[in-house]
Chain A
C-alpha cells in the first residue's frame, strides 16, 4: 500500500510538471503567433508599402479613366457614356497600350 501511495504521488508530481511545461509552451507559441501577426500587420501597412513603392520609383498615375462596358443585352447607357466619344476612347486605349 505504501508503495502504491508513493507511486501515485510520483505520478501526480510528474503530471504537474508536465502541465507546467505545456502551459509554458502554450504561452511561448501564443506569443510567437502574436509576434508574427504583428510583423505581418507592420509589413502590410499601407503607409509602409507606399513608402517602399515610392523608394523604388513607382508613382500614382496622373489621370485614371474608368471604362465601363455595358453588359450584353443592356440597353441603358451609363451616366458618363455620352462624355466619351469614339475618338476619346481610342486615345485612352492607346495611352494604356
Chain B
C-alpha cells in the first residue's frame, strides 16, 4: 500500500486551515466588530416595550360618591391578513357585536393590517369573543369612562372622547390631574411570547390620576334637576338654569342647565345641550341687577333710606322713552320700595344720583365684565362696556339690568356677596383632590374682596326681604323663614342688536335664606317662559329648591330682620 503523497496532505491541511481561518475571521467579525449591532438586533427581537396606561382618576361629589369612574374594557381589532374564513368569522361575531354582517365583511377583508371592530367593549362580551379563538381577531385593553348617575350634572362633570381624554366640563378642565402619567414595561420574551426567566424585566409603573372631589352634592343636584325640568315644562320655557351656592365658601352645591344629556352617550344629544349655560352663556339680567344699583346707593348714601322720591312710570333718556313694566301714576317711593316693587324708573333715578363712574365701579367691583375665576372651560366674562363707551342711555338701562350681559354664575355671585356681608367670594366647583397614597389635597382658598360694607350689605338684605314679603317676589315665601331675593324679567335682545324682542323674556329669581344668617343662595332662571314674569315663573322654582335646601342642609329659621323704611303697605 503506498502512502498518500505528502503534497496532498499539505494541500488538505491548508484547505482545512483556510476554512477554519475563515470561520475564525467571521467569528471575530461577528463577535467583536459587529457584536454591538447584532446584540441590539437580537434584543430588538426579544425585548418588548409596552406602554402602561395610567388609570384615570374618578370625579366624586362632595360626599365622595362617584360621578365619573373608569372600568376596564377591551378594544376589538382585526388583522385581515390572518383571517382564514371571513364569512364564518363575520357570522360568528356579528350577533355579539351587533354589527351587520355586510359591514363586518368589509372590515375583515380590508387591505390593511389593523382595523377596529368595536371599542371599549365590556369584559364579559370580550371574553365570549376571545373564547371563539378566531384567527386574526385581537383584543387590546382600553378603559371605559362611566357616569353611574347618568344625566346628573352632565354639563359640570363633562365627558371624555373615545381615547379617554376630557373634552368638556371638569373632565377637560382637570385633564392632566385626572389622567395621571403613563408608565412602561420592558420585558425579554421567548419565541412563544412568554417572558424569559431572569431576562430583562424593567417596569416604570404608571402614576394613576388623582380623584377629583367637586363641590356638587349629588342628591341636591338631583332635586334641583327634577324641580328645574318640571318648571321648564310647566312654564313652557325654552330652557332653564339653576345654581345653588354657599355664600361663605363660594362652593357650588348644585348647577343645572336644562335641557341636559346623558354623558354615557353624549352623541345622542344636541351639542347645544353639552354647554354649561350657567357659566358659558351670558344674558341681559334685567331687574335682578337692581341689587347692584341699590347696594351702590346705600354704600354711597346716594339717597337717605327714609326719603321718598316721586317716581313716574316713564321718562325720557336721550332720544329714548323708557318706562316701567306697567303704567302707574307718579308714586312716592323709598329706595326699599323701588327694589321691592322693582321700579325701573326708580332705579334710573337712583343711578343718576350715583353717576356713571360710581355705577361702573360697583358693577366691576361685583365682578361683572370679568370671568369669575372658577376656571371652567368656555367661561364667559359677560359684556360690560368700558365706561368711555357708555352712551346717554347706558347708565339708565344698566341701572335696571339691560344693556349689559352676565352669566348666571356672575349674577349669583353678586347675591352671594350681599349674603356674605359685602365680601365677594370666588365661586368654585372643586373642593380638592385625592392623590397618591390617598392623600387629600384641598383646593386653594377662593379669592375674596370687599365690595360694600357689612352695614350696606345688611341694609340691602332687608330690602330684598321686603321684596319677598311685600313686593314682586311673594311667590318665593316659605312659611317660617325670612327669604331675601329679587325678581327679574328681562327683555331678550335681537340678534342684529337693533332692539329687543317684544314677546321673549328671561324670567329669574335670585335670593338667599335665612335673611339674617344666609346659608344658601339660589338662582333660578327660565328662558322664554310663557308665564313671562320672574315673580310668576322663577320665584316658585326658587321656593321649591329652597325648601329642599332647608331639609338637606338643616337650615334653622334664624331671627327676623326689620324691613327697610318703606311707603307701601306690608301685608
Q: In whole angstroms, what is the CA distance A44 to B148 when docked?
A: 9
Instruction: Answer whether residue B482 sits at the interface, using C-beta atoms and an 8 A cutoff.
Output: yes
Q: Assuming the A-B contacts A38-B146, A80-B557, are A65 and B195 also in contact, with contact meaning beta carbons closer than 8 angstroms in the complex?
A: no
B148 touches A38 (CB 8 A): yes
Give the contacting residue for A79; candidates B150, B514, B551; CB below 8 A.
B514
Inter-chain contacts of B72 with A (CB < 8 A):
31, 34
Which residues does chain B contribute within 8 Å of A93, judged by CB atoms?
none
Closest chain A residue to B556, Cβ basis: A68
**In the bound complex, what is the Cα–Cα distance between A75 and B149 (angstroms)?**
46
Is there an interface contact between B559 and A76, defined as CB atoms closer than 8 Å? Answer: yes
Cross-chain pairs A/B with CB under 8 angstroms, 27 sampled:
A16-B197, A17-B197, A20-B195, A31-B71, A35-B71, A37-B66, A38-B146, A38-B148, A41-B66, A42-B148, A46-B152, A47-B150, A47-B151, A47-B152, A50-B226, A64-B547, A64-B551, A65-B479, A65-B480, A78-B560, A79-B480, A79-B560, A80-B482, A81-B480, A83-B480, A84-B479, A84-B480
User: Given the known A-B contacts A17-B197, A80-B481, are A41 and B226 also in contact in the complex, defined by CB atoms under 8 Å?
Assistant: no
Report chain B residues within 8 Å CB of A9.
197-198
Which residues from chain B contact A22 at a C-beta distance below 8 Å? none
Complex Cα distance, B150 from A46, in Å, reads 10
Q: Are A12 and B551 in contact (CB under 8 A)?
A: no
Bound Cα distance A46, B63 (Å):
13
Check if B322 is an interface residue, CB within 8 A of chain A.
no
Residue interface mask B543-558, A partner, CB < 8 A = 1:
0000100110000111
Contact assessment for B149 and A37 in the assembled complex, using a CB-CB cutoff below 8 Å: no
Residues in B whose Cβ lies below 8 Å from that of A76: 559
Contact partner of A34 among B71, B222, B515, B559, CB < 8 A?
A: B71
Within B525-571, which residues are at the interface with A (CB < 8 Å)? Answer: 547, 550-551, 556-560
What 1/0 flags go to B190-234 for Cβ under 8 Å of A?
000001011001000000000000000011011100100000000
Say yes or no for A29: interface residue by CB 8 A criterion: no
Tell me which residues across on chain A come within 8 A of B481, comparing CB atoms: 66, 79-80
- Look across to chain A and name the residue whose beta carbon is closest to the beta carbon of B221: A46
Report the separation of the CA atoms of residues A79 and B198 in the bound assembly, to the nearest whole angstrom: 78
Asked whether any CB of chain A lies closer than 8 Å to the CB of B516, the reply is yes
Count, A-B residue pairs, CB within 8 A: 96
* Contact between chains at A38 and B559 (CB < 8 Å): no
Q: A9-B197, A66-B550 are in contact. Are A38 and B69 (CB under 8 A)?
A: yes
By secondary structure, the A interface counts as: helix
Residue of chain B at shortest CB distance from A45: B149
Binary contact readout A57-87 vs B (1 if CB under 8 angstroms, 0 otherwise):
0000000111010000000111111011000
On whether A34 and B69 interact (CB within 8 A), knowing A9-B198, A79-B557, the answer reads yes
**Contacts known (A45-B148, A45-B150); A38 close to B71, Cβ less than 8 A:** yes
| Shortest Cβ distance from residue A97 to the other chain B in the assembled complex, whole angstroms | 20
Residues in B whose Cβ lies below 8 Å from that of A47 = 149-152, 222
B195 touches A79 (CB 8 A): no
8 A Cβ contacts from B66-123 to A = 66, 69-72, 123
A46 with B219: in contact, given A78-B558, A80-B479 (CB under 8 Å)? yes
Given contacts A34-B72, A79-B481, contact A41 B148 (CB under 8 A): yes
Q: Check A53 for interface membership: any CB of B closer than 8 A.
A: no
Q: How far is the CA of A44 from the CA of B61 in the complex (A)?
A: 13
Is B65 part of the contact surface with A, judged by Cβ < 8 Å? yes
Residue of A whose beta carbon sits closest to that of B516: A79
Q: With A and B bound together, what is the CA distance between A67 and B505 in angstroms?
A: 38
Q: What 1/0 flags go to A1-38 for Cβ under 8 Å of B?
A: 00000000100110011001000000000010011011
CA distance A12 to B201 in the complex (A): 12
CB distance from A55 to the nearest CB of B (A): 16
